[in-house]
Protein backbone atom coordinates (compact mmCIF):
# COMPACT_ATOMS: atom_id res chain seq x y z
CA UNK A 1 0.00 0.00 0.00
CA UNK A 2 1.37 3.42 -0.89
CA UNK A 3 1.81 6.15 1.68
CA UNK A 4 -0.87 8.26 -0.01
CA UNK A 5 -3.36 5.38 -0.03
CA UNK A 6 -2.74 4.72 3.66
CA UNK A 7 -3.21 8.41 4.41
CA UNK A 8 -6.54 8.51 2.54
CA UNK A 9 -7.84 5.32 4.18
CA UNK A 10 -6.79 6.51 7.62
CA UNK A 11 -8.49 9.88 7.17
CA UNK A 12 -11.64 8.22 5.88
CA UNK A 13 -11.76 5.78 8.80
CA UNK A 14 -10.90 8.20 11.61
CA UNK A 15 -11.96 11.60 10.31
CA UNK A 16 -8.46 12.86 11.06
CA UNK A 17 -5.06 12.97 9.44
CA UNK A 18 -2.44 10.64 10.88
CA UNK A 19 -0.60 13.63 12.34
CA UNK A 20 -3.75 15.03 13.99
CA UNK A 21 -4.62 11.60 15.39
CA UNK A 22 -1.13 11.09 16.79
CA UNK A 23 -1.16 14.56 18.35
CA UNK A 24 -4.57 13.91 19.92
CA UNK A 25 -3.42 10.56 21.34
CA UNK A 26 -0.26 12.12 22.75
CA UNK A 27 -2.31 14.88 24.37
CA UNK A 28 -4.79 12.39 25.87
CA UNK A 29 -1.94 10.37 27.35
CA UNK A 30 -0.20 13.54 28.53
CA UNK A 31 -3.36 14.66 30.30
CA UNK A 32 -3.59 11.33 32.13
CA UNK A 33 0.05 11.45 33.20
CA UNK A 34 -0.10 15.09 34.27
CA UNK A 35 -3.29 14.53 36.27
CA UNK A 36 -1.56 11.70 38.12
CA UNK A 37 0.95 14.33 39.21
CA UNK A 38 3.96 12.02 39.40
CA UNK A 39 6.00 13.33 36.46
CA UNK A 40 7.22 16.76 35.38
CA UNK A 41 6.16 18.03 31.95
CA UNK A 42 9.54 17.16 30.43
CA UNK A 43 9.23 13.50 31.41
CA UNK A 44 5.60 13.38 30.29
CA UNK A 45 6.61 14.74 26.88
CA UNK A 46 9.24 12.04 26.54
CA UNK A 47 6.90 9.31 27.80
CA UNK A 48 4.25 10.06 25.15
CA UNK A 49 6.71 10.03 22.27
CA UNK A 50 7.89 13.57 21.66
CA UNK A 51 11.50 13.68 20.53
CA UNK A 52 12.30 16.45 22.96
CA UNK A 53 10.82 17.96 26.08
CA UNK A 54 10.73 21.33 24.30
CA UNK A 55 8.56 19.96 21.48
CA UNK A 56 6.24 18.20 23.91
CA UNK A 57 5.90 21.18 26.22
CA UNK A 58 5.22 23.42 23.22
CA UNK A 59 2.47 21.10 22.01
CA UNK A 60 0.88 21.01 25.46
CA UNK A 61 0.99 24.81 25.71
CA UNK A 62 -0.70 25.15 22.31
CA UNK A 63 -3.38 22.70 23.42
CA UNK A 64 -4.08 24.67 26.59
CA UNK A 65 -4.20 27.97 24.70
CA UNK A 66 -6.57 26.43 22.17
CA UNK A 67 -8.85 25.21 24.96
CA UNK A 68 -8.97 28.72 26.44
CA UNK A 69 -9.76 30.28 23.04
CA UNK A 70 -12.55 27.75 22.49
CA UNK A 71 -14.29 28.58 25.74
CA UNK A 72 -12.92 25.63 27.65
CA UNK A 73 -13.44 23.02 24.94
CA UNK A 74 -10.46 20.68 25.29
CA UNK A 75 -8.04 20.75 22.38
CA UNK A 76 -8.43 17.02 21.80
CA UNK A 77 -12.21 17.34 21.48
CA UNK A 78 -11.89 20.29 19.11
CA UNK A 79 -9.30 18.42 17.06
CA UNK A 80 -11.52 15.34 16.86
CA UNK A 81 -14.51 17.38 15.69
CA UNK A 82 -12.44 19.27 13.14
CA UNK A 83 -12.21 16.28 10.84
CA UNK A 84 -15.97 15.78 10.75
CA UNK A 85 -16.55 18.82 8.57
CA UNK A 86 -13.22 19.46 6.87
CA UNK A 87 -12.05 18.34 3.51
CA UNK A 88 -8.52 17.30 2.77
CA UNK A 89 -6.40 18.96 0.10
CA UNK A 90 -7.42 16.21 -2.29
CA UNK A 91 -11.09 17.01 -1.70
CA UNK A 92 -11.79 13.69 0.00
CA UNK A 93 -14.10 14.06 2.95
CA UNK A 94 -12.51 13.10 6.24
CA UNK A 95 -15.56 11.54 7.79
CA UNK A 96 -16.71 7.97 7.16
- When pLDDT is cut at 50, 70 and 90, the band that residue 87 belongs to is very low
d(CA 32, CA 83): 23
Q: What secondary structure, in 3-state letters, does 25-71 show?
A: HHHHHHHHHHHHCCCCHHHHHHHCCCCCHHHHHHHHHHHHHHHHHCC
Length in residues, the chain: 96
Q: State the pLDDT confidence band at 86, using cuts at 50, 70 and 90.
A: very low
**Interval 18-74: pLDDT, tens:** 988 988 888 888 888 888 888 888 888 888 988 887 887 787 777 777 767 766 655
Ordered by start, the domain boundaries in the chain are 3-82
CA Rg, the chain, in Å?
Answer: 15
Q: How many angstroms separate the CA atoms of 32 and 25, rounded?
A: 11
Residue 7's CB is within 10 A of a number of other CB atoms, namely 16
Measured CA to CA, the distance from residue 35 to residue 11 in angstroms comes to: 30
Q: How far is 24 from 19, CA to CA, in rounded Å? A: 9
Given a cut of 50, is residue 84 above it in pLDDT? no
Amino acid sequence: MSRRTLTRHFARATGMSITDWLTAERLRRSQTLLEAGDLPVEQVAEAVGYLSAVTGASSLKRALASARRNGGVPFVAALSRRGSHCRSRSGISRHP
